[in-house]
Amino acid sequence: MDLKGKRFSEIHCPLCSEEFRVRKGEPRTLKQWRVALIMHLTASLKHHLTLDKAESIIAKYFKSLEG
């Protein structure tokens, strides 16, 4: 399945399962959700990961959505 064009109205943090939802407008692509997840994983006190580690986790999470 190709998820590049698919849009999601909600997504979860792969580490803590916190929900992120679209409040207004159209559902977002994974590329758009990537920014929210990177901010959450790098800036939050829960995780406080480096950018490289956050990107690695997000890549694995998005790959798992394909299967």
Inside any domain, residue 43? yes
Can you give the pLDDT at residue 62? Answer: 92
Task: Write the pLDDT tens digit of every residue in 29-57.
Answer: 999 999 999 999 999 999 999 999 999 99
Give yes or no for residue 17 having a pLDDT over 50. Answer: yes
* Whole-number Å distance between alpha carbons of 58 and 66: 13
Q: What is the pLDDT of residue 4?
A: 60
64 within some domain? yes
Q: Is residue 7 in a domain?
A: no
What is the predicted pLDDT for the residue at 60?
95
18-38 mean pLDDT: 93
Residue 20 domain-assigned (yes or no):
no
Give a yes or no: residue 67 inside a domain. yes
- 3-state class percentages of the chain: helix first, strand second, coil last, to nearest 5: 45, 15, 40
The total number of structural domains in the chain stands at 1
Residue 37 lies in a domain: yes
DSSP character string of 37-66: HHHHHHHSTTT---HHHHHHHHHHHHHHHH
Task: Determine, yes or no, domain membership for 44.
Answer: yes
Instruction: With respect to residue 8, please indicate whether it lies within any of the assigned structural domains.
Output: no
1 confidence band (pLDDT: 50, 70, 90): very low
